[in-house]
Structure 1
């Protein structure tokens, strides 16, 4: 897993912009602590930071290939060839590179799990390989299939290919959006990077928060292609963005489709299991230490059990597993609407069941409130999150894991695929004229915004923004002829989660893990599984009257009964009163700074009212997230020097 960045400008000689490209590339050092490479030509510069996972010696980047299908050495060219004067009569026609110029250059982040099969296919077509890396396979896939290469890949990836023959840049992102990729169009080209920080390191990119950017931060709806920064966009999952002298064009190479589900229940359960066995086996491939993330819930327990089996079969066990916990969490646990039991007992039962080499990463309030840690989380995320400890603890978990492993497997996204969240099973939320998670948690969402200035909230008109996003999502949903009633609605609900909700969690997972140079793989996001389960009838997905019926039935033999039957419990949040007290004190210090960047956006009367509440009161349960949001906004505006351009 790596960090990529680059710059294309068709009116500028980028051979002389090494310092800027180096600054852009340096921002990705956290994603790729093992190596750095840059390549430039007249109108393009590509940067790469590498986290070595497969073929530790041979996979260096940017990687070059000539038109004869022979890959370059993988050693980055510090400068690359220049471009002759266009007025020189000996200059080749556009699209005909000088002798010695590579046909294509790749800067790549991700893992392609079927690279070995693709390598054999490409070798049979005449391609010659010099490394064992999946990077070289992706590069040759471009030479063989051009813009259609992504349809051949199984994995998580975000990459850029510069074609010297056509003078065009291709930006490609995986089907589910597991790996991030942003771009910033300029008058004569584009800037791009794995994260906004890479783009913002270029003086051509402005750091502006406009109304739509703030709406995106506050709405809890992941509108495709949006970013918090004005003028900056995400490559949509399953899409290709092509930039050449004629401009920028976007194309989706994959999206969910509605298909008739031909299988009965028994066959469906068996197929889910077969897919999971194959997916986890593929994702165990690594030349570095590998582990799993374990919460004691169904999803992470399935992945850990499958990984344990897969490693045992190749004589490579036991599986190493890690869980996050908080000091005193089990002893003082308080059940709520989302969580009815602490994680730790289930974690330990599953670890014992599969004979895992398990470790708990136990955090306290001092860890969660550490200023340097909170700043690192902000820099990793490039935006405020409003969820406080749920980001900070994940970052600390990943940082601790990185001392032992370089790759981790996660149970992320099973709830979106199989229908696990509470609101999937709440009729009022399901049939609301909005996204179900907003319907179920509307009150909490309102409280989260309660500290912001009422005039600003009115001007932003978040209900209209969410309604517009909902209308766009609803119009996209693929449907079967004659599909009506609950089955029709649950197809819509599933689509919303796979295109507007899961990206929040994938982004959080990616940013917090890569900030420590840890690669996290998400088997439940394999597009074959997603497509198959998406088209299974809702009645089949809930055949036993519970959530995630298909997943539970397909993996019942792997787990203890208590874990298999456990009710859905989200990622944990600390219940330590000391944490709320620390937030309370931090918020008081903020309000004592009238010149703080966030203060023009805050309802000061409401903010001071919160300071009079006692920690642990009912209203403070809601206020906690509001305080986290305001603290995060202030830190972001200050550290990132964001220019605010909002309605008066």
Structure 2
């Protein structure tokens, strides 16, 4: 895993600033502290930078990126991992292709040279984001992996296109504007981003499974985007009915084992994150089975027993012979490190689990581990979240008697009472635009749509007026592909929408890459292997959620690995305790609020309404406010703190100067060509 960045000038005769590219690498040195590289094609007006985290081929001089082809026609920079690269490398070598490194990244360059991008993409397996410039076509390609595990941002300036692995990489460029949009601010406060967007003016994300093509014509850059992969649940009339339950269980088991085996390949030790869920426990069980020695298992524990999963995790660690490392956290640590976490997430967070994961990645780094496998993606593919069960029985079981529906709803609300207001809306929310595209309003979006009415009163007049006619549900609905929703089961639709919104925008961002790479730690989510996904989408809805049991097929596939208590346990959302549940944590949050939500701070940023913020805190303290409402308001308060922090870090601060200073501290410099 690494960090990349670069510029593509509209005018090829304009001079490239090499030190600027170094600065762009330096400000993301946490992603790649093991070295940096800069490569420019001056005659073409294009330059890339790379900050390297050494995982495969530790020889820095041999594996340094960006890679430039021998004929100086193709320039490439890659962030992430390509699995199964040994087989591809051997096959190409047998065909006479010569490699200059042992790095997995180099297969991309050689495949592209031999067969072009369209034929190369299906062969790439893993989590990745890369940039590739072809001088012969005068064209830049920005590509992101299928689920969006690795980030990739871009923006257009008067000089040309700027891209990078993080927003701060773009902001290190003096020509990039740093300003919140009203729409971006709205979505930060209500939690769910519109796919492909950010909170900042003119700054976009390459969407998962997409290729951004930037073609230069004369002195003008033309941008187009295309899809090379999407989550493809079969239409109801196209499912393979010949596959039995036993077939699906065997297929899932085999695909997951293969995904884990591939992610154990590294030139450094590979550990595992371990919570009390079947996802991470399955990963640990399989990793332990294929490993020659004990696997290091890292667990986050909370002081609040209602949210703590360490007892079950400890049972799993003991059963597999893993070496467990438990890090316990309280409110002091969580809000005490929120600012550092937000500098890395570059977006707001609704729950301090992001802070907990930031602290865990720091701990992993401190004990000399660079790589861990994680359980992200299991719930998305196998129907694990309570929102999926709700949509299943409301929209996918049309013949279910009303009395059974009431029993389901009661059981669901009771078992998930701790996350009501966050993972489940307290009351039904219906959005007409989502209804029109999906057929119903997915339960995963309802908690955040329920927050939307709170947002206008929290905004400064300028932003509130700009959003009078704005519909967040419509903005999200317009980015969903109707062709992937038409003719699908209700559970397929619910999972698809979650994958396009919550998975990419939250779990893989502030719960994944950004807080992991903050401390130079690579996370490998084996469940998001696209070969496993191909098996998962074939599983019928009634086997993903069988009766009231979620992730049924996965449970059965992993039954021999899991302790009985875990095999029978209902899915529990892994979250940090909300602020109001602990006096110490609430006090820590209030300290931050005294700074970032003071009248002076609000006036300085010009984003929020002082009166609206005061009214929200007053309502939170009202004895008549329910627990579910407080969970919801805790999330909104976290977002209020977040937008103020982001403004101070990235809008008010001189980010280009920070990048120069970081390059100076690291001693990262390049000699200008003579």
TM norm structure 1:
0.85
Q: What secondary structure does 2:558 align onto?
A: helix
User: Retained in 2: the 8 A contact 1:158–1:173?
Assistant: yes
User: Retained in 2: the 8 A contact 1:56–1:287?
Assistant: yes
Over 3 Å counting, the alpha-carbon distance change for 1:130 and 1:472 in structure 2 is closer
Aligned to 2:665: none
Over 3 Å counting, the alpha-carbon distance change for 1:448 and 1:402 in structure 2 is farther
Q: 1:625 aligns with which of 631, 635, 650?
A: 635
Aligned to 2:299: 323
Alignment of 1:276 onto 2:286: no
Q: Deviations over 1:344-386 (max 9, x none)?
A: 111111111111100111123332233xx33321211123324
* Deviation of the 1:258 alpha carbon: 4.3
Aligned to 2:357: 394
Counterparts of 2:212 and 2:558 in 1: how far apart (Å)?
A: 39
Q: What secondary structure does 2:527 align onto?
A: helix
Q: 2:348 aligns with which of 384, 387, 403?
A: 384
* Deviation of the 1:427 alpha carbon: 4.4
Alignment of 1:470 onto 2:471: no
Counterparts of 2:160 and 2:329 in 1: how far apart (Å)?
A: 46
Q: 1:363 aligns with which of 318, 329, 339?
A: 329
Aligned to 2:63: 59
Q: What residue ranges of structure 1 are gaps of 5+ in the alignment?
A: 68-101, 334-340, 644-648
User: Retained in 1: the 8 A contact 2:197–2:204?
Assistant: yes
Q: What secondary structure does 1:134 align onto?
A: coil
Q: 2:111 aligns with which of 122, 132, 141?
A: 141
* Deviation of the 1:607 alpha carbon: 1.3
User: Retained in 2: the 8 A contact 1:598–1:630?
Assistant: no
Q: Deviations over 1:500-526 (max 9, x none)?
A: 221120112000000100000011111
Aligned to 1:296: 276
* Deviation of the 1:182 alpha carbon: 0.8
Alignment of 1:350 onto 2:316: yes
- Higher relative helix content: 2
Q: Which shifted more, 448-457 or 12-21?
A: 448-457
Over 3 Å counting, the alpha-carbon distance change for 1:428 and 1:249 in structure 2 is closer
Alignment of 1:520 onto 2:496: no
Aligned to 1:337: none
Aligned to 1:29: 29
Over 3 Å counting, the alpha-carbon distance change for 1:224 and 1:625 in structure 2 is closer
Over 3 Å counting, the alpha-carbon distance change for 1:535 and 1:494 in structure 2 is farther
Counterparts of 1:3 and 1:32 in 2: how far apart (Å)?
A: 6
Over 3 Å counting, the alpha-carbon distance change for 1:422 and 1:441 in structure 2 is farther
Counterparts of 1:48 and 1:14 in 2: how far apart (Å)?
A: 22
Counterparts of 2:392 and 2:125 in 1: how far apart (Å)?
A: 37
Counterparts of 2:295 and 2:356 in 1: how far apart (Å)?
A: 23
Q: Which shifted more, 24-33 or 610-619?
A: 610-619
Counterparts of 2:343 and 2:447 in 1: how far apart (Å)?
A: 31
Alignment of 1:607 onto 2:614: yes
Q: What secondary structure does 2:224 align onto?
A: strand
Kindly report which structure 2 residues correspond to 1:397-546, keeping only aligned pairs within 5 A, or say none.
397-404=360-367, 405-427=369-391, 431=395, 433-439=440-446, 442-443=449-450, 451-452=458-459, 459-460=466-467, 464-473=471-480, 475-479=482-486, 483=487, 488-503=489-504, 504-508=506-510, 509-543=512-546, 545-546=548-549
Aligned to 2:267: 287
Counterparts of 1:476 and 1:492 in 2: how far apart (Å)?
A: 11
Q: What secondary structure does 2:444 align onto?
A: helix
Q: What secondary structure does 2:560 align onto?
A: helix
Counterparts of 2:131 and 2:226 in 1: how far apart (Å)?
A: 15
Aligned to 2:88: 118
Kindly report which structure 2 residues correspond to 1:63-212, keeping only aligned pairs within 5 A, or say none.
63-67=67-71, 102-148=72-118, 149-187=120-158, 189-212=160-183
* Deviation of the 1:320 alpha carbon: 0.5
Q: 2:338 aligns with which of 344, 353, 374?
A: 374
* Deviation of the 1:188 alpha carbon: 5.4
User: Retained in 2: the 8 A contact 1:451–1:602?
Assistant: yes
Q: What secondary structure does 1:601 align onto?
A: coil
Over 3 Å counting, the alpha-carbon distance change for 1:322 and 1:595 in structure 2 is closer
User: Retained in 2: the 8 A contact 1:301–1:350?
Assistant: yes
Q: Deviations over 1:252-307 (max 9, x none)?
A: 11123344343211101100000011000001001112110011111111111111
Counterparts of 2:121 and 2:184 in 1: how far apart (Å)?
A: 30
User: Retained in 1: the 8 A contact 2:381–2:533?
Assistant: yes
Q: 2:646 aligns with which of 625, 636, 640?
A: 636
Aligned to 2:557: 554
Q: Deviations over 1:409-434 (max 9, x none)?
A: 00011111101111111149954532
Alignment of 1:38 onto 2:58: no
Q: Relative contact order (C-alpha < 8 Å, sep 6+): which is higher?
A: 2
Over 3 Å counting, the alpha-carbon distance change for 1:454 and 1:168 in structure 2 is closer
Counterparts of 1:306 and 1:41 in 2: how far apart (Å)?
A: 46
Aligned to 2:436: none
* Deviation of the 1:393 alpha carbon: 1.1
* Deviation of the 1:19 alpha carbon: 2.2
Q: What residue ranges of structure 2 are gaps of 5+ in the alignment?
A: 396-429, 431-439, 654-674
* Deviation of the 1:113 alpha carbon: 0.5
Q: What secondary structure does 1:52 align onto?
A: coil
User: Retained in 2: the 8 A contact 1:430–1:493?
Assistant: no
Q: Which shifted more, 19-28 or 300-309?
A: 19-28
TM norm structure 2:
0.82
Q: What secondary structure does 1:29 align onto?
A: coil
Counterparts of 1:296 and 1:282 in 2: how far apart (Å)?
A: 24
User: Retained in 1: the 8 A contact 2:374–2:524?
Assistant: yes
Q: Which shifted more, 438-447 or 11-20?
A: 438-447
